[in-house]
Amino acid sequence: MTEAILQRIANGDGQAVQDCLNKYGGLVWSIARKMLRNSDDAEDAVQEIFVDIWKNAERFDAEKSSETTFIAMIARRRLIDKIRYSTRRISADSLDDVLLEPFTRADKAMQTSIEAEEAAKAMRALKPEQQQVLRLSIVQGMSHQEISNATGMPLGTVKTHVRRGLLHVREVLGLGGSHYAQEVSV
């Protein structure tokens, strides 16, 4: 089995840094562009994300997640911080696009990781409004309040959809969780 790029980075392999950029640069950039919707902000964020990746490479555990998912987690942490502490707001025009965008286009399914494929399948089993809320919050980086304003759903309903949807997908992915979660996910 070949050594993961992140493990190679943790072991001080300089070439692995470039391999990491080759393999994940476009992915991180695309996640940032999707969540921030502004190229300048995305450029700053992507630089910071890769610094985070270099620093956290040794924490990667292939038993717990794929390398792709681990990198996406690091990217999301940084992007969530950026969004929360910025004045980014979605324009009315782009909001229409965001609301109308399907979760995965049938002819454009990405195979970025096994977990992503499984998550996509699990998402399709959710109610349409749950899918929409999860997509707007996770993929588009919208706050609960922004989603409520955009969709007209009560804030409490948005929270419930996020909670139940996320727990359902986690269960399908087999990513663990306690008995407490099972009691509230139905």
Q: Which is nearer to another protein, 149 or 159 (CB)?
A: 159
Residue 10 contacts another protein per CB under 8 A: no
Residue 186 contacts another protein per CB under 8 A: no
Residue 113 contacts another protein per CB under 8 A: yes
Residue 170 contacts another protein per CB under 8 A: yes
Residue 26 CA to residue 68 CA, distance in Å, equals 12
Residue 36 contacts another protein per CB under 8 A: no
What's the closest the beta carbon of residue 89 comes to another protein, in angstroms?
14
Q: Do residues 146 and 91 touch, judged by C-beta distance below 8 A? A: no
Residue 115 contacts another protein per CB under 8 A: yes
**Contacts (CB under 8 A) with another protein, residues 116-145:** 116-120, 123, 134-135, 137-139, 141-144
Q: Do residues 7 and 63 touch, judged by C-beta distance below 8 A? A: no
Pick from 94, 110, 119: nearest CA to 38: 94
Applying CB under 8 A, which of residues 59, 84, 89, 127 lies at the interface with another protein? 84
What's the closest the beta carbon of residue 44 comes to another protein, in angstroms?
10
Cα dihedral sign for 51, 57, 58, 59? positive
Residue 159 contacts another protein per CB under 8 A: yes
Q: Tell me how crowded residue 76 is: count the other CB atoms within 10 A of its CB.
A: 16
Q: Which tokens go with 85?
A: 């502490």
Q: Which tokens go with 4?
A: 């993961």
Pick from 118, 159, 119, 121: nearest CA to 137: 159
Residue 6 contacts another protein per CB under 8 A: no
**Contacts (CB under 8 A) with another protein, residues 40-59:** 43, 46-47, 50-51, 54
